[in-house]
């Protein structure tokens, strides 16, 4: 939480540089050790957590603002970024307003904010989570082990996951979440984790290969007691084409 002096300074800077009614909240997904994870921050001196987000500068395009926020939170750029929904409940900012009304009744958080949701798919190993000035921690959580999220951020997260599941039916997913080289069972595990259901091994392999977005390596993965599985990687050119043109069918 802000002290009164910090709140005054923040509000003065916000009024000068940012739009007073639009915010951005980002759901950042990563995949590690068979688990889909989300990056969240903990409020200073408070028990609640929240999604990475921020405000839009007065002369800044929305996508540029989302890119900036994501780079600040993850340390990487050129992230797969998808706008997925707008959240505008009149009561969504009440928690923030109530938090600071006794310190400074006429403050930035008293504005009604419409927030634009973006989700990002990132390589877990390349992310260096960094708390901002208003948080004391920034870390990954498994989806089924999330702490309490403030405001309507659980709703935003659920909507992002719903959108991601729908898009599996017509867009390729995995390039930004998987390591450079992976096995077919590892890729299947990603899809099963996102969809929250088991998939038939043979049907999954036949379907994913039919998309023609993977390159199979000549040598299988070394080691292990059983027959070593072949390694695959995404064909970037074909993957980008599939992103533009879409896929057919569903899971």
Query: What is the model's pLDDT at position 5?
Result: 73
What pLDDT score does 94 carry? 61
Q: Which of 241, 125, 139, 133 is nearest to 176 (CA)?
A: 125
Distance CA 7, CA 13 (A): 10
Position 70 scores a pLDDT of 84
State residue 104's pLDDT score: 47
Bigger pLDDT: 102 or 41?
Answer: 41
Paired tokens of 94: 């009440």
- Buried b / exposed e across 31-42, counting CB within 10 Å, b at 16+? beeebbbbbbbb
Higher pLDDT, 111 or 165: 165
- Over the stretch 30-57, which tens digit does the pLDDT of each residue have? 999 889 999 999 988 788 899 998 889 9
Fill in the DSSP letter of residue 197: S
| pLDDT confidence tier of residue 106, bands split at 50, 70 and 90 | low
Give the rounded percent of residues in the chain with a pLDDT score beyond 70. 86
Is residue 96 predicted with pLDDT exceeding 90?
no
Average predicted confidence (pLDDT) for the chain? 85
Q: Which domains does the chain have, with CATH numbers?
A: 4-153 (3.90.79.10), 182-245 (1.10.10.10)
pTM for the structure as a whole: 0.83
| pLDDT tens digits for range 7-36 | 667 677 777 888 888 889 999 999 998 899
83-21-94 Cα angle (round to 5): 100
pLDDT tens for each residue of 149-197: 988 999 999 999 999 998 888 888 899 899 899 999 999 999 999 999 9
Average pLDDT over residues 203-232: 84
Q: How confident is the model at residue 103 (pLDDT cuts 50, 70, 90)?
A: very low
Confidence category of residue 2, pLDDT binned at 50, 70, 90: low
- CA dist 120 and 28 (Å) reads 5
Q: What angle do CA 161, 60, 239 make, to 5 degrees?
A: 45
Tell me what pLDDT residue 108 has. Answer: 61
């Amino acid at each position: 939480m802000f002290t009164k002096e910090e709140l005054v300074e923040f509000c003065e800077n916000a009024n000068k540089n940012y739009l007073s009614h639009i915010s951005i909240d980002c759901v950042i997904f990563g995949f590690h050790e068979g688990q889909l994870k989300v990056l969240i921050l903990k409020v200073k001196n408070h028990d609640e957590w929240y999604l990475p987000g921020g405000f839009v500068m007065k002369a800044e395009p929305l996508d540029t603002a989302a890119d900036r926020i994501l780079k600040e939170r993850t340390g990487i750029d050129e992230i797969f970024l998808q706008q997925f929904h707008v959240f505008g409940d009149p009561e969504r900012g009440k928690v923030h307003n109530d938090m600071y009304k006794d310190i400074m009744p006429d403050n930035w958080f008293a504005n009604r904010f419409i927030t634009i949701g973006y989700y990002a798919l990132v390589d877990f190993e390349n992310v260096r989570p960094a708390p901002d000035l208003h948080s004391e921690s920034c870390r990954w959580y498994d989806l089924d082990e999330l702490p309490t999220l403030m405001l309507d951020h659980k709703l935003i997260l659920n909507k992002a996951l719903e959108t991601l599941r729908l898009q599996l039916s017509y867009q390729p997913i995995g390039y930004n979440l998987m390591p450079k080289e992976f096995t077919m069972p590892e890729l299947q595990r990603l899809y099963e984790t996102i969809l929250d259901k088991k998939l038939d091994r043979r049907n999954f392999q036949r379907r994913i290969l039919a998309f023609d977005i993977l390159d199979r390596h000549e040598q299988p993965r070394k080691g292990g007691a059983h027959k070593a599985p072949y390694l695959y990687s995404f064909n970037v050119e074909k993957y980008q084409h599939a992103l533009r043109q879409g896929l057919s069918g569903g899971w």
